[in-house]
């Protein structure tokens, strides 16, 4: 194995380990391609080889392919970390630090729009935490425009929407002696 090949595979492992977050394959590819001089096709080949060697794994979740480092990958990275150039590690660390909020939001907030009954549009909004679904909202909207606006607001304000909904749902209500109507 030549030095460039070994270093590129180690950079892949280093990036996955440093992210401390499961990235989609597309997100991960973007990180590597923006930080390291590697072409897309080589990167995909390296990913496939690292999967076969059980150094990284791919998982499908919510119709997205996620990539993460395995225990074997962490072990190999620890043994050969000294082969990585400090300059390249710094570039990756800086990129992850500057983009971590965007990466987290992109992997934890999802949406889907589909046609509903009678010309309406069904919107499914989800929030995930550590691969677990913590919120799922399904709503019908009368037009495609309102459905798209709901998705845009969800993307921008999902955390505050979740917080408001949570507070409203756990709020103590006034107790009355009136029976609940069925």
pLDDT per residue rounded down to tens, the chain (182 residues): 477 888 999 999 999 999 877 788 888 998 998 888 788 999 999 999 999 999 999 988 767 788 999 999 999 999 999 989 899 999 999 998 888 777 777 667 788 899 988 889 999 998 876 667 788 899 999 999 999 999 999 888 887 888 888 888 888 777 656 666 66
Long-range contacts of 95-98 (CB under 8 A, 24+ apart): 95/31, 95/34, 95/35, 96/15, 96/18, 96/19, 96/31
CB atoms under 10 Å from CB of 160, counted, come to 10
| Cα three-residue angle 168-170-174, rounded to 5 degrees | 85
Q: Give the span between the Cα atoms of 156 and 133, in whole angstroms.
A: 19
Q: 25-35 vs 40-52: helix axis angle to the nearest 10?
A: 120
pLDDT (0 to 100) of residue 159: 78
pLDDT at 144: 93
- Identify the CA nearest to 17 among candidates 83, 75, 90, 63: 75
What pLDDT is recorded for position 130? Answer: 60
Is domain 3-106 given the CATH code 1.10.10.10 in the classification? yes
The upper half-sphere exposure of residue 24, i.e. CA atoms within 13 Å in the direction of its Cβ, equals 17
Stretch(es) of the chain classified as CATH 1.10.10.10:
3-106
Quote the CA–CA distance of 63 and 82 in Å, as a whole number.
Answer: 37
DSSP H helices in the chain: 3-19, 25-35, 40-52, 71-80, 86-108, 144-170
Q: Could you give the CA distance from residue 13 to residue 67 in angstroms, rounded to a whole number? A: 11
For residues 28 and 67, give the distance between their C-alpha atoms in angstroms, rounded to a whole number. 8
User: At how many degrees (to 10) do helices 3-19 and 86-108 cross?
Assistant: 40
């Amino acid at each position: 194995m030549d030095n460039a090949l070994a270093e590129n595979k180690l950079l892949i492992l280093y990036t996955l380990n440093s992210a401390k977050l499961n990235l989609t394959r597309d997100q991960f590819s973007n990180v590597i391609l923006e930080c390291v001089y590697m072409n897309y096709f080589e990167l995909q080949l390296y990913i496939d080889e690292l999967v076969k060697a059980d150094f990284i794994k791919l998982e499908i979740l919510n119709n997205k392919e996620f990539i993460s480092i395995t225990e074997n990958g962490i072990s190999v990275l620890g043994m050969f970390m000294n082969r990585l150039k400090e300059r390249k590690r710094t570039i990756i660390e800086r990129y992850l630090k500057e983009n971590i909020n965007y990466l987290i939001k992109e992997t934890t907030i999802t949406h889907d729009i589909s046609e509903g009954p009678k010309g309406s549009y069904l919107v499914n909004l989800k929030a995930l935490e550590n691969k677990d679904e913590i919120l799922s909202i399904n709503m019908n909207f009368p037009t495609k425009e309102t459905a798209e606006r709901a998705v845009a607001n969800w993307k921008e304000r999902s955390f505050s929407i979740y917080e408001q909904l949570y507070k409203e749902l756990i709020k103590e209500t006034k107790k009355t002696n009136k029976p609940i109507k069925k």
